[in-house]
Structure 1
Amino acid sequence: MSASYRQPGVVLTDRRFTVPLDHDAPDGETIEVYAREAVAGDKAGQDLPWLVYLQGGPGFGANRFIGKQAWLGRALDEFRVLLLDQRGTGHSTPANRQTLPLRGGPAEQADHLAHFRADSIVKDCELIRRELTGGRPWTVLGQSFGGFCTTHYLSTAPEGLSTALITGGLPSLDAHADDVYRAAYPRIERKVAAHYARYPQDVERARRIADHLLGHDVVLPNGYRLTVEAFQSLGILLGGGEGSHRLHHLLEHAFLRTPRGSELSDAFQEDVQQLLSYAGHPLYALVHEACYAQGPRPTAWSAERVRTEFPQFDAAKTLTGDGPLLFTGESVHPWMFDCDPALRPLRETAELLAARTDWPTLYDAERLAANEVPVAAAVYHDDMYVDTAHSLRTAATVRGLRTWVTDEFEHDGVRAGGPRVLDRLLALARDEV
């Protein structure tokens, strides 16, 4: 039985769905997918259209809103909302270092994880939609990786959609992961430069921390080995609207004086381990590059390989001069599986996924060119996570898609912008602006 409860202005219902692990073997093993239904308290008894939210990631459960936070309040004006924990995330059947050994060894684990991409997520959605709506199409709101899933949805099951809304998540239809990261590193460098322009005092602070890490073996309280490369990866913060400020506040309390000399403070280490640990979202590390994989060409640790083409990101070389240390951004590297205790047992599994050569195609350009579903997409100018040029090329392919290109927000605009982003996208999709 589904449990319902209340938050300010909202009635929430926990829902659980049984879906095939492999949709090509519908009578085989099943897993559970969890979702939280949300409806405005004064509309709980009404027959409302559905909106399903696909969270960014991969590997993150849907936002846990309190009441009508962010975009949810606008959605509840007219929709019954389903906040979906995509397979393997949140309260859905987990896939992590504790549960994956139930599958067998690394080869069996890698085969299992091959079913956790956009194609399987969309098939889950279609089973759930038919159960909830009686077959009526619904609106999908896809943020970041959720937009990748939405684009796959339009490619494979557009009959399930009444409207498609995408925020910061229009993927390239055919770029290899190498192309994605060759476009990403220059964007990351621009974001770092903008951070240092805002907080010039952080140039010396970041260099000092990096120099310390190059000369010391630092293990955080949770067992995470803090290398200089791991420290640089904190640049992932710079893709969010508040990220530069958060990074600044982190750096400003890094060191303190102790009887043994200058050391990284406990407070700094505590904050860093919370930011770097993948314990709560291991799928992000395991299948991140697989999000871009199509066909026989492996990803082969793309972000790590492509980084060598940008030597300015080499911390050791930077510290031989007087230039600023460059942070990195949204990328996954093999050393993460050595540094992070939540990932260490999965290193061989990750290697097998990186070497995999049988990834199905995710997008159908011909079908997208014949699209009849109303589609609107927010494209954030110079988005650190998703390349703007790639997004606009895809937008030009999808028949009828309307874009809103804006530099008002960073990648997290749908959250940071409150109701405005969703309101704008709905108006675009409905040809009201």
Structure 2
Amino acid sequence: MSTASRLPGIVTTDHVFHVPLDHAAPEGEQIEVYAREVVACGREADDLPWLLFLQGGPGGKAGRPLGRDGWLVRALDGYRVLLLDQRGTGRSTPANRQTLARHGGPREQADYLAHFRADSIVRDAELIRRRLLGEDRRWSLLGQSFGGFCTLTYLSLAPEGLREAFVTGGLAGLRSSAEDVYRSAYPRVVRKNEAHYARYPQDVAAVRRIAAYLGDSPAVLPDGGLLTVQAFQSLGMMLGRGNGSDSLHYLLEEAWIEGAAGPELSDTFLAGVHAALSFVEGPLYAVLHESIYGQRSVDPAGTAWAAERVRKEFAEFDAEAALESGAPVLFTGEMIYPWMFETDPALRPLREVAQLLAERTDWPDLYDPQRLAANEVPVMAAVYHDDMYVDTADSLETARAVRGLRTWITNEWEHDGLRVSGGKVLDRLIAMARGEV
């Protein structure tokens, strides 16, 4: 039964759908997928076009609106929005250390999670579309980051369900292997480090001091996790967001406190690090991250911890060598490493599962280049210049490969432009779709 709620400027309605775990076996195990319908106050009864929102990730639940805020300011002018908690996230049937053990051992858990990629998410969305809108009515789609990857899969598998699509920071390389992705990512992360240290030159010494301290004595985080030098370096994930450099600097400012035995890392700093690094609220992000690039025709040997392997090609990320030479210690970015399944308590029970997924070699292809080349759905995409998370060259190559796709290339926003622009990014894409720009 649906439940409606009123918040400032909006009315929300809860929906729960039962979908097959494996869409190839529709009579088999069923899971729940939750979605929140959002409409502007006073327009509840209007026959508005639907806009499905696919969140970034993988493993990220849809945002929880507090009212008519963020990109909803623009979207609710003309749409009824559906915020989807992709399978395994939020109020959908959860997939985490607490629930996965019910499915058997690591092998059974890995087989279960193999059904949580973009192809399954798209098939969930199509089932939901038919139930909510009817067989013949199409909806619009907004895909942020990984949601943009899912949009390309949607255009490959079921374009008949879409009337138009908007993508923000999510045009994946159609034929890029996981190795390709990280080989192009590490140099972008270097540039983000250089920009951060240029803005906050005092952080060079601050980061070196913390790294040296952790090299001698890893710190314990509030949840019992271990803050090693490599874990500290992974705070660089923050550098791909609009205010990420500033947030990182302010975190570093409060790193030290004078304890009974001398200087030590402060509880304030360790709590901030824990909030930035813990996967307790989104373990699927870590477990499935490299698998979102897995396609057997591109990666026949599997993803096999590509970020870890490729990192060895970039000596500038070696913190120990940097400390010895006097060079700045560089942060890493959106990379998942096997050691994270040792240091993070939320991931430790999933260590063997993650290893099995990394070894998997039979990932179905996610994109159909021929179908994309014949695409008839209008697609508008924001491509953020030098996006730390998604390679601009890959995005532009994909844009050329998808018939009818128009791009807006901008350096005004970072990867989180949709969330922080107050609707401006979405407004631009909608104006492009309407022929206004």
What TM-score does the superposition give when structure 2 sets the normalisation length? 0.98
* Runs (5+) with no aligned partner, structure 1: none
| Residue 211 of structure 2: aligned partner | 210
Deviation of 1:432 after TM superposition, in Å, equals 2.2
Alignment of 1:122-201 (within 5 A): 122-135=122-135, 136-201=137-202
> Which amino acid is the alignment partner of residue 131 of structure 1?
R
SS at match of 1:84: strand
Residues 242 and 414, structure 2, Cα contact 8 Å, conserved in 1: yes
Q: CA deviation at 1:220?
A: 1.0
Does structure 2 retain, via aligned residues, the 8 Å contact 1:178–1:302? yes
Map 1:199-278 to 2 at 5 A: 199-278=200-279
Decide which moves more: 138-147 or 212-221.
Answer: 212-221
Q: Which residue of 1 aligns with 2:96?
A: 96
Deviating above 4 A after TM superposition, structure 1's stretches of 4 or more consecutive aligned residues are none
Deviations along 1:222-267, one digit per CA (max 9) or x if unpaired, are 1110000000000000000010000000001101111111100010
Judge which range, 20-29 or 412-421, deviates more. 412-421
Matched, 1:301 2:305: yes
Aligned-pair CA distance for 1:179: 0.2
Question: Residue type of the partner of 1:179?
Answer: D
Name the CA distance, whole Å, in 2 between partners of 1:221 and 1:386.
32
Report if the CA contact (8 A) 1:163-1:373 is conserved.
yes
Corresponding residue for residue 332 of structure 1: 336
Question: For 1:299, what is the secondary structure of its paired residue?
Answer: coil
Cα shift at 1:297: 2.3
Residue 431 of structure 1, CA deviation: 2.3
- Rounded to whole Å, the distance in 1 between the matches of 2:387 and 2:134 is 38
Q: Secondary structure at the match of 2:140?
A: strand
Partner of 2:420: 416
Q: Distance in 1 between matches of 2:38 and 2:97?
A: 31
SS of the aligned residue for 1:37 comes to: strand
Q: Report if the CA contact (8 A) 1:205-1:251 is conserved.
A: yes
Aligned to 1:27: 27
Check if 1:385 corresponds to 2:386: no
Structure 2 letter corresponding to 1:17: F
- Of all paired residues, the percent bearing the same amino acid is 65
Separation (CA, whole Å) in 2 of partners of 1:335 and 1:303: 12
Equivalent residue number for residue 12 of structure 1: 12
CA distance in 1, matches of 2:402, 2:422: 27
Task: Check conservation: 2:218, 2:229, Cα contact below 8 A.
Answer: no
Q: In structure 1, give the amino acid aligned to 2:75.
A: A
Residue 426 of structure 1: CA displacement? 1.0
In structure 2, the partner of 1:58 is 58
SS in 2 for 1:99: helix
Contact 1:374–1:430, Cα closer than 8 Å, also in 2: no
Corresponding residue of 1:364: 368
CA distance in 2, matches of 1:220, 1:376: 43
Matches within 5 A, 1:29-44: 29-44=29-44
1:354 equivalent to 2:355? Answer no
What amino acid maps onto 1:151 in structure 2? Answer: L
1:383-431 superposed Cα distances (whole Å, 9 cap, x missing partner):
0000000000000000010000000000000011111111111111232
Deviates more, 1:61-70 or 1:109-118: 61-70
> Residue 255 of structure 1 contacts residue 265 of structure 1 at CA under 8 Å; is this kept in 2?
yes
Distance across 2 between alignment mates of 1:255 and 1:334: 29
Report if the CA contact (8 A) 2:58-2:284 is conserved: yes
Q: Which amino acid aligns with 2:399?
A: A
> Aligned equivalents of 2:284 and 2:333: distance in 1?
17
1:83-137 deviations in whole A, cap 9, x for unaligned?
A: 0000001111000000000010000000000000000000000000001111211
Structure 1: distance between partners of 2:335 and 2:69: 29
Q: Which amino acid aligns with 1:15?
A: H
Deviation at 1:77, TM superposition (A): 0.6
The CA RMSD over aligned residues, in Å, is 0.6
Q: Which amino acid aligns with 2:16?
A: R
Aligned length: 433
> Residues of 1 paired with 2:161 and 2:372: CA distance?
14
Match of 1:81 in 2: 81
Mapped contact 1:163–1:374 kept (Cα < 8 A): yes
The superposition leaves residues 2-25 of structure 1 with CA deviations (integer Å, 9 ceiling, x where unpaired) of 110100010001111100000000
Paired AA for residue 285 in structure 1: A
TM, length-normalised to structure 1: 0.99
Query: Residue 256 of structure 1 contacts residue 264 of structure 1 at CA under 8 Å; is this kept in 2?
Result: yes
| Letter of the structure 2 residue corresponding to residue 359 of structure 1 | W
How far apart are the structure 2 equivalents of 1:400 and 1:427? Answer: 16
SS of 1:312's equivalent?
Answer: helix
Structure 1 residue identity aligned to 2:36: R
Structure 2: gaps spanning 5 or more residues:
none
Does residue 293 of structure 2 align to residue 292 of structure 1?
yes
Separation in structure 2 between the aligned mates of residue 284 and residue 94 of structure 1, nearest angstrom: 13
- Secondary structure of the 1:98 match is helix
Contact 1:12 1:37 in 2 (8 A): yes
Contact 1:110–1:353 (Cα < 8 Å) also in 2: yes
Deviates more, 1:61-70 or 1:302-311: 61-70
Q: CA deviation at 1:68?
A: 1.2
Q: Distance in 1 between matches of 2:396 and 2:421?
A: 22
